[in-house]
Amino acid sequence: MKVSTILDHIDSGHMALPEFQRGYVWNRDQVRGLMDSLYRRHPVGSLLVWATESETAEHRGDGELASGIVKLLLDGQQRMTSLYGIVRGEPPKFFDGHAKAFTGLYYHLDREEFAFYQPLKMKDDLLWIDVSKLMRDGNDGLGKLVTQLGTTPELAPQLSAYIGRLNQILGIREIDLHIEEVTGDNKTIDVVVDIFNRVNSGGTKLSQGDLALARICADWPEGRERMRKSLQRWQEAGYHFNLDWLLRNTNTIVTGEAKFSHLQGVEPAKIKDGILRAERSIDHLLNIIAGRLGLDHDRVFFGKYALPVMVHYLSRRGGQLNDAAEQDKLLFWYLQSAMWGRFSGSTETVIDQDLRVLEELDGGLDRLIQEIRLWHGSLRVAPGHFGGYSRGARFYPMLYMLTRVGEARDWGTGIPLKSNMLGKMSKLEVHHIFPKKQLRKTYRRAEINAVANFCFQTKDTNLAIGARPPSDYFPEIEQAQPGALSSQWIPDDPELWKVENYLDFLEARKQLLAKAANTFLSDLLHGDDLEDTEVLSAPLALEDAAPVPLPVAGSNTGGVESDEEEQLLLEVAEWVTDRGLPEGECLYELADPTTGEPRAILDLAWPTGLQEGFSEPVAVLINEGPEILAAANASGFRYFTDVASFQHYVEHDVLADQTEEAATQQETA
């Protein structure tokens, strides 16, 4: 079937997207690659559709289906969405994604290449052709372009070649794509999803959550949009969740189980009610976790799979906890499960175990805490637990929490850094107590980026301190803001403030951080509860606290192996920041997005992209094996194994996009 005919079928409702399909996820490189392949008439694969009755076809978007038999796209959504957006100049009605991935595509008549619009590079250059405009205007637009090119003396000699290339682009609409159909009365949604997963084995398979969502939306068409708006609302507040996670919370309310299969056969009205109750419970829990623990955004919100258990408990309590003591005990359990990676293994199995503990509600929190103690051992924090490195370390959120809930003060102003006074973490910056510049000659990257070398300051204070060593600026802070250093758990021995004693400083500060953590954990249990509930065999204290090993990635986890490699990465990081882009994270711990289990260490990473909120996660991986590359790829990172390729990407993609955005804003100002 011709591309133009397929697009017409999408417009008329004869072809649509099934409800269980995920949204649009392609990036600009993939769109460019598709158009280049079509332009050169390379094969781009066939489409797979499910031919079914429109009356029973559950589809995405608000477009009307045609009567009779309709075709739902099982394989080919990304390709056809991209083509629709380019040819029509707007997304199809079933679109759910970032339209910037396919808007503004241009073609250069001399170089025969596709690129996205960059005003400073393309403006007033007749050789750059707006592909969507050409597609929409068709032969009329082609005629105007030919006239314009033919009357430009320096371009006229190549007019014949240019006309051929423009027709080559227009001819993309007439390319025939092979379509395979899934038909038959026996093709239920379960069968079709299985077929989809088999065909899509090289991509992301549909989860049980996708299938459950499809069934829900069959009876409640507005359900997906309702949940999407909730996810968007949480994202705007700094928390990034997905539909599977929201459904997991709903499932524990509706069925008391973790596995989505238990939603089969549940009445639609009950599921709808469960979603609404889950949203209210999540809002309530996020508020108390941010307010009482200070964990107010996604980077520090660890242990997210403890929420389905908490949501279940809160829902059975009627949406409200009895008092502050019950609230704090629930938060104590949350922190314990997050610190020790309670859900790092088989997430569904562990959630089900905890739900069984809560079958009898009275005394349920005490039993949950006892379950943690039996599973993990000591509930005390030991100094060694603050021995991690990078902002991906598990105890990084604990440092942030202690800063927000304690008496930690900014070193420049003396202002307390509590969450209810400063708001979101975007107003704070991570400060290296011993600046990286002072440590690079002597210490390794992991030591430089130790969690115990981090603290939080306001932006102005961070800039004012600069790259001075603590032995230089600590005395000034203590004189100007007495007690501000100790409020951030700084050892008071001036000998430890010297660069040559840096490792001793780290050990001393880890002792202070562990003591502060245990004091706060004890406060959450309101004193007497320690003995009354028999949760702990001894008070929470620092003395004799033996380190408890945390789950870590396997032996082939990656990392920096030599001084030369370390220096190379430092130079790359500085090259990026010199261009006004965000600083990357060295030795970034890559965790499984579902379980939180550590999977790999990435040499240098930008987990939210070099353009946060728009570009994909990026990593530079030097001398790493296939396991690390596969782990980065599976987690959605675009990785580079050599510096030259990475720098080319930054110059030609990221910086070009920034120039485009700035120019566009200037034009519309």
- Name the least confident of 418-422, 432-436, 536-540, 610-614: 536-540
pLDDT above 80: residue 419: no
Tell me, what's the pLDDT at 200? 57
Give the mean model confidence (pLDDT) for residues 478-490: 96
What lies within 8 Å, CB to CB, of 543 at 6+ separation is: none
3-class SS at 69? strand
Average pLDDT, the chain: 83
Tell me, what's the pLDDT at 114? 94
Q: How many CA atoms lie within 13 A of 621 on its CB side?
A: 25
Pairing of strands 428-432, 585-591: unpaired
pLDDT above 50: residue 529: no
Tell me, what's the pLDDT at 426? 39
The sign one gets for the Cα dihedral 387, 392, 395, 396 is positive
Give the mean model confidence (pLDDT) for residues 115-123: 84
- The string of pLDDT tens digits covering residues 331-381 is 999 999 999 888 876 788 899 999 999 999 999 999 999 999 999 888 999
* DSSP assigned state of 207: P
DSSP per residue, 440-471: TTTS-HHHHTBGGGEEEEEHHHHHHHTT--HH
The sign one gets for the Cα dihedral 440, 446, 449, 454 is negative
- Name the least confident of 237-241, 317-321, 431-435: 237-241
pLDDT above 70: residue 199: no
Most confident of 210-224, 277-291, 645-659: 277-291
pLDDT above 50: residue 137: yes
- The string of pLDDT tens digits covering residues 636-648 is 889 999 999 999 9
Tell me, what's the pLDDT at 315? 95
Quote the pTM value: 0.69
pLDDT above 80: residue 527: no
From residue 282, how far is each of 33, 105, 243, 317, 362 by CA, in Å?
Answer: 41, 41, 13, 14, 22
Helices (H), 294-379: 307-316, 324-339, 347-357, 364-376
- The string of pLDDT tens digits covering residues 383-395 is 999 987 766 677 9
Cα distance between residue 372 and residue 608, in whole Å: 32
- Name the least confident of 11-25, 206-220, 567-581: 206-220
Tell me, what's the pLDDT at 596? 45
For tokens 């990286």, what's the residue?
436
Dihedral of the CA atoms 426, 430, 431, 435 (nearest 10)? Answer: -130
Give the mean model confidence (pLDDT) for residues 434-443: 89
Give the mean model confidence (pLDDT) for residues 398-410: 93
Tell me, what's the pLDDT at 641? 93
Work out the pLDDT band at 530, boundaries 50, 70, 90.
Answer: very low
- Name the least confident of 325-329, 349-353, 448-452, 526-530: 526-530
- Name the least confident of 48-57, 207-216, 428-437: 207-216
Work out the pLDDT band at 243, boundaries 50, 70, 90.
Answer: confident
Q: In this prediction, what percent of the chain has a pLDDT beyond 90?
A: 46
Give the mean model confidence (pLDDT) for residues 229-236: 91
Tell me, what's the pLDDT at 391? 67
Write out the H or E segment, with its range, that includes residue 430: strand 428-432
Give the mean model confidence (pLDDT) for residues 522-539: 54
Cα distance between residue 333 and residue 525, in whole Å: 10
128-130, strands of its sheet edge to edge: 113-116, 105-108, 128-130
- The string of pLDDT tens digits covering residues 531-545 is 333 333 333 333 333
- Name the least confident of 62-71, 202-211, 508-517, 612-621: 202-211
Tell me, what's the pLDDT at 523? 94
pLDDT above 50: residue 61: yes
Tell me, what's the pLDDT at 665? 43
More confident of the two residues 540 and 406: 406
pLDDT above 60: residue 278: yes
- Name the least confident of 209-218, 241-250, 375-384, 547-556: 547-556
Cα distance between residue 271 and residue 111, in whole Å: 56
pLDDT above 60: residue 440: yes
The sign one gets for the Cα dihedral 446, 452, 455, 461 is negative
pLDDT above 80: residue 565: no
From residue 112, how far is each of 32, 85, 165, 175, 648 by CA, in Å?
Answer: 12, 21, 8, 19, 20
Dihedral of the CA atoms 156, 159, 162, 163 (nearest 10)? Answer: 140
Tell me, what's the pLDDT at 659? 47
CB atoms under 10 Å from CB of 233, counted, come to 12
Write out the H or E segment, with its range, that includes residue 128: strand 128-130
Work out the pLDDT band at 121, boundaries 50, 70, 90.
Answer: confident
